[in-house]
Chain A
């Protein structure tokens, strides 16, 4: 029963990894164009970032992007650790730590984005 649950969970984890990976192809394409090419400089400057984040669509886009790409990265690292020869107990503990890191990251990302939007754009 336990093995079956673990297998199902493992499959679900791999399925989400695949889905988020495909989303990231789209997100990253838009992000590279919007934040690194469209400004005429490899990295967008302060005013450009602030103005872009004031648009609610871009705000939502970047927030979802952070949630999805961080999940993909952390879940990928968890899958990698699951494939090593360390004990099941250690894998479980590391998995919990990684998901705590994920939640801290997305909470921090959300707070950072909200704070940045509130900064007045310098004239």
Chain B
């Protein structure tokens, strides 16, 4: 709460100043930044889905082009997006529990616990995702 009040006075540029502010501030700033990225992607996703109205050939061509992209660069973006979503989700669960009065005195431990669980799940998700692109393990 103190961190949030201080942030109001300093403006949103203070988000980038992580030094000497502790893990709580890092979690707070990164949660918001990842939220903006996900919201941008959500509307991008709706735009792609809107192409369903253009018919089978057109939609499938778009799906093929956005899956891999030039030099497989979109796959890298997909993995970064998955990282952003899993981070935001894990920290979001902690914040939701806080909202219901759970874990208020163990925020740091909960942050690390949920993030470790999320990163393990991300690893599993990436493993299955890589099977599609022919990178078998």
Contact = CB atoms under 8 A, between A and B. Distances in A.
A43 B56 CA distance: 14
B8 A85 contact: yes
A19 B42 CA distance: 19
Determine the interface band of chain B, counting residues with CB < 8 A from chain A: 35 or more
A25 B93 contact: yes
Interface string A81-113: 001110000000000000000000100110010
Contact of B52 (A46, A74, A76): A46
Nearest to B82: A32
B137 interface: no
Interface string B74-114: 00001000000100010011011001100000000000000
Interface of B: 4, 7-9, 11-12, 32, 35-36, 38-39, 42-43, 46, 49-50, 52-53, 55-56, 59-60, 63, 66-67, 78, 85, 89, 92-93, 95-96, 99-100, 125, 128-129, 132-133
Given A21-B95, A22-B93, A83-B4, 9 more contacts: A21-B93, A25-B89, A41-B132, A42-B78, A42-B133, A44-B63, A45-B59, A84-B12, A85-B11
